Amino acid sequence: MTTDDGIHRLSAVEAGSRIRTGALSPVTLLEACLRQIDRREPDVGAWVTLDRTGALETARRLDDEARHGKFRGALHGIPVGLKDIIHIAGLRTTAGARGFADTAPNRDATAVERLRAAGAVILGKLQTSEFATADPASTRNPWRLDRTPGGSSAGSAAAVAARMIPAALGSQTVGSTLRPAAFCGVVGFKPSYGSISRQGIIPVAWSLDHVGLFTRTVADAGMFFSVLTASTLKQHPGDSTQAPRIGLVGAPFADRADPVMRDHLAIIHTRLAGHGARIERLDLPEIVRALLAAVTVVMWAEVAAVHSELHAAHADQYRPKIRAAIEAGACIPAPFYLRAQQIRRAARQVLVPLLQRFDACLMPAAAGPAPDPATTGDPSFNAPWSGIGAPQIAVPTGLAADGLPLGLQLIGAPGAETRLLAAARWVEARIGFHETPPGV
């Protein structure tokens, strides 16, 4: 095979299948990914730490095991990158905060342990906004270098989009997985709150933090979800072939999207209906507006709590947006924080029965295509679902006139990942998004 044989473009499922049959070795796959990193990293800047030596050693061991018919699990030989708030034993965790965090943990996060146990090759750490909040990372969008890849999981989304790796882990407190996935034209999956362990991951706001997955296909997202939760996704009766029942989210989001996104949603909705999807408009109840406010209140209060000691000693080393969030959050009276949590609970009680009526609910994953890099974009389209801990998956569904990807999100009821992923696979298959950014 040549250096440009497209191995680095394989999905995780495809690569894993070839490794199982002996048609591809973990070392060959890793070397193809490293060559792609060498080609694209100078422009994109997705990585903080690239552990070439450690990854190659692991891949050689996995090669040897595969030749003897031994496979550790579903991810045997698959390279993976991790957002740099997730601890890897022996590699520094910076959390995107060059002013402070620069120590190397002595043990893996639980999610990393699970990846390794399933045979993944841990390749390194990916860029994040400072402490996974709002100050943009230096990473650039592979589709257009003058646009943001989104945040806070900027490097995770960009690396998967640029075909440097087939999959990456990120996180989402409000919109840090779905939004960058949409901006970068990849799949971004945030399972239900608590379904993937956050042990060994630097927190943003503990009652909102989720682990997120970046892949290029819905099937890959399901495979990683199974590994990380030690679950076996059951085949849903509607999996991929039976048209799903979809709730098309209207108020209060119908008018918030950019015109290009509104037009795109209308086109996709019509196409899905043409393929047989049973689509029903779903206006969300008024409490969703309060939920959006509650999510901000809870996040800022918990950010302030998480950072209280570090801020007391090093306030001037924080970047502006997170510093403002910490300090404003520290001023929130306790009764308001508790009432915000009550609103989340009340909203969950109202919204979950609505979500349960559908295989998935559909709405934009972001207001429009990726904006300029001064911000990481507006997370409000993702916020209510983070706020109630519901699973969400962003699927790339087209390109805007300027060549930037557009992504829609599907939302399910908490705990209903199997049903949601089946609907997402159906949508993915009918839309057929196969475009790639330059240089892949």
- Active site residue ranges: 83, 152, 176
Count of all residues that appear for the chain in the document: 440
- N-terminal to C-terminal alpha carbon distance within the chain: 17
**DSSP classification of residue 311:** H
**Per rule CB under 8 A, is residue 324 in the interface with another protein?**
yes
Residue with smaller CB distance to another protein, 261 or 325: 325
Structure tokens at 300: 């800022």
**Per rule CB under 8 A, is residue 260 in the interface with another protein?**
no
CA 358, CA 132: separation in Å to the nearest integer?
Answer: 32
Residue with smaller CB distance to another protein, 57 or 336: 336
Q: How far is the CB of 379 from another protein (least distance, A)?
A: 14
Residue with smaller CB distance to another protein, 106 or 232: 106
Helix (H) or strand (E) segment spanning residue 398:
strand 392-399
Residue with smaller CB distance to another protein, 6 or 206: 206
CA 246, CA 179: separation in Å to the nearest integer?
Answer: 21
Q: How far is the CB of 377 from another protein (least distance, A)?
A: 17
Q: How far is the CB of 50 from another protein (least distance, A)?
A: 26
Write the interaction track for another protein spanning residues 362-401; mark x where CB under 8 A is met and - where it is not.
---------------------------x------------
**Per rule CB under 8 A, is residue 308 in the interface with another protein?**
no
Interacting residue with another protein among 332, 399, 400, 440 (CB under 8 A): 332
Cross-sheet strand order for the sheet of 167-172? 47-50, 121-126, 79-83, 167-172, 210-215, 187-190, 392-399, 405-411, 360-364, 245-249, 278-282
CA 223, CA 184: separation in Å to the nearest integer?
Answer: 21
Residue with smaller CB distance to another protein, 193 or 214: 193
Interface positions, 194-213, toward another protein (CB under 8 A): 194, 197-201, 203, 206-208
Q: Residue 202 to residues 11, 80, 83, 390: CA-CA distances in angstroms?
A: 29, 19, 10, 21
Interface positions, 263-302, toward another protein (CB under 8 A): 287, 289-290, 293-294, 296-298, 300
Helix (H) or strand (E) segment spanning residue 409:
strand 405-411
Chain residues that interact with another protein, rule: CB under 8 A: 193-194, 197-201, 203, 206-208, 287, 289-290, 293-294, 296-298, 300, 306, 324-325, 327-333, 335-336, 338-346, 348-349, 389
